[in-house]
Amino acid sequence: MAYNIDLHCHSWYSGDGVSSPEALIASARKKGLHGFALTDHNTSDGCRYLLDKGLVREDGLPVDNFLIIPGVEVTTAEGHLLCLGVILPYLKGTPAAEVCKIVHGMGGLAIPPHPYDMFRAGIRQSVLDVLEIDGLEVFNAATTLKRYNAQAFEYATMKKLPMTAGSDAHHESAIGTAYTILHTDDFSVKGILGQISKGTELNQRYLSPKDALRKTWNNWLRLRRKRVHKPPAKRGNG
């Protein structure tokens, strides 16, 4: 059976996400998705929350015929890395090669998102060439320029890497804009992740102007909050 899975989504547990995990689930169901990967920035808190609520199962099976894949988008020392099928500690700033080892040791997949988007913190080609990754996100619905997706697709084709697509949704309305289609008889976290290496189909559609503007606005607010909350420099007595 074919399953439509958005492999790159953020809830309000990300610093720039605005929707609750439950709102993402409701919106994804309405759009015909069979599941999604919750890949909040540098935290598994949203996944732990869903486990506590019974909306994610420890054994990786779906709940009410809907599958949440636990994940994190880790800001490694070299750029962003989607870590799928795992619940991780705080790893921001850790070298990408080390994060890959940790993820693989836990049975998960490491997939760099938006690697060629020069306006975003992707892992660039010089690092990709030597990194042990399990695939490449070749279509990101929120990419800054469409040619960056094309470059990712060309690289994955050249390297014969498995390909994924994701919405990079930071709001419930954007989830499922792009997603990965996987054919498998095993509708579980293990089955879906195992199918990525065997072959995927990609649903490729870009964010609407409204959703793209909302994402940019939320990013700006996140950066502004960081500046505002930065403690003032100490002054001397003289």
The tens digit of pLDDT for each residue in 132-166 reads 999 999 999 999 999 999 999 999 999 999 999 99
- On the 0-12 / 13-18 / 19+ scale of CB atoms within 10 A, 105 is exposed
Average pLDDT rounded to a whole number, residues 12-18? 92
Distance CA 231, CA 228 (A): 8
Instruction: Taking residues 99-114, report their average pLDDT.
Output: 98
The values of phi and psi at residue 33, to 5°, are -75, 150
| Prediction pTM value | 0.88
**CB neighbours (10 Å) of residue 129?**
9
Average pLDDT, integer, range 211-222: 55
**pLDDT at residue number 207:** 76
**Closest to 155 (Cα-Cα) out of 89, 111, 105:** 111
Q: What average pLDDT does this structure show over 109-129? A: 97
pLDDT surpassing 70 at residue 223: no
Q: How confident is the model at residue 125 (pLDDT cuts 50, 70, 90)?
A: very high
Strand segments, DSSP code E, in 107-231 are 109-111, 136-140, 163-166, 179-183, 201-203
Q: List the helix and strand counts (H, then E) for the chain.
A: 7, 9
CA distance linking residue 206 with residue 224, whole number of Å: 26
In this structure, the number of other CB atoms found within 10 A of the CB of residue 137 comes to 27
